[in-house]
Amino acid sequence: MDLGIRGKKAIVCASSRGLGKGCALALADAGCDLVLNGRDSEVLAATAEEIRRVHKVSVSEIVGDVSAPDSQEKLLAACPDPDILINNNGGPPRKDFRQLSRESMLEGVVQNMVTPIELIQAVIDGMAGRGFGRIVNITSLSVYMPIEGLDLSSGARAGLTAFLAGVSRTVAGSNVTINNILPGKMDTDRLRGGIRFGAEQAGTSQDVEIARQTGEIPARRFGTADEFGRAAAFLCSDHAGYITGQNLLIDGGLYTSAF
């Protein structure tokens, strides 16, 4: 399917690897020019070169933490009038809520709520003025289903969801959409780290832990960054202009609900 966004400009945050990279690859396949972001310059450069080689689109690289004001300034300088914004950022590590300090709580809220809002503030009026904009926020299944130890990440992402629910309705008439994608257990470095931790805690092997976790998922497997990215690209497409303020679960059926 032609997504109708060839030649559009996209900022994809935290896109050197994992789900962000999956989104970048899918948008490049649709013909979008990209501004990528990551903290590791070597990994980011490798991802950018891979996309240029395979998809023949323009790719700019901005190294840095997307939550840092100077990194945001560089992203927006590289692409001052984006058509597409993919908000993505790492979340706080697993920790019992009793161990969270005020400093760590504020940092978590900045990472997973304040940062995407700041970037949306910077680009949304330009999108509305041009009559096209697609904003996708990568949040988490934990917004719907509590995950032990991820209370801070869950709370910040849920706050972002509620904050943008009203905002999304204010720009829908200008063909600007804001949606959230909620990943479940996706086969990424972060998940693999959790598998290692779970296996160590249980005194078992990683293969046993993988079998246990996939056994809880109706699809009987982990999701991939590729299928996640293609779902994000569709929400960014010309065909998705009547979808806004929504939360798309990509979890293989893990979250049990009829609505």
DSSP string, 196-254: HHHHHHHTS-HHHHHHHHHHTSTTSS-B-HHHHHHHHHHHTSGGGTT--S-EEEESTT-
- Reading the block at residue 250, the tokens are 């990509």
Instruction: Tell me what the mean pLDDT of segment 13-40 comes to.
Output: 97
**In contact, 87 and 137? CB cutoff 8 Å:** yes
Residue 146 has pLDDT above 90, yes or no: no
- Please report the pLDDT score of residue 189 as a whole number: 83
- Please report the pLDDT score of residue 186 as a whole number: 95
Which CATH number is 9-184+225-249's, of 3.40.50.300, 1.10.287.10, 3.40.50.720, 2.40.30.20?
3.40.50.720
- Please report the pLDDT score of residue 92 as a whole number: 86
- Give the CA distances from residue 130 to residues 44, 119, 124, 176, 196, in Å, rounded to whole numbers and listed in that order: 30, 17, 10, 9, 47
Confidence of residue 170 (pLDDT cuts 50, 70, 90): very high
- Please report the pLDDT score of residue 72 as a whole number: 98
Residue 200 has pLDDT above 90, yes or no: no
The structural domains of the chain, with segments of one domain joined by +, span 9-184+225-249, 186-222
- Please report the pLDDT score of residue 191 as a whole number: 85
Q: Is the pTM of this model over 0.75?
A: yes
Question: Mind listing the pLDDT tens digit for each residue in 63-111?
Answer: 999 999 999 999 999 999 999 999 999 888 888 999 999 999 999 999 9
Which range among 37-51, 113-127, 173-187, 189-203 shows the weakest confidence by mean pLDDT?
Answer: 189-203
- Reading the block at residue 202, the tokens are 């249980």
The DSSP output letter for 92 is P
Instruction: Tell me what the mean pLDDT of segment 35-52 comes to.
Output: 97
Q: CA 214, CA 237: separation in Å to the nearest integer?
A: 31
Which range among 92-101, 174-183, 236-245 shows the weakest confidence by mean pLDDT?
Answer: 92-101
Please provide the distance, in angstroms rounded to a whole number, between the alpha carbons at the two ends of the chain: 28
- Please report the pLDDT score of residue 198 as a whole number: 83
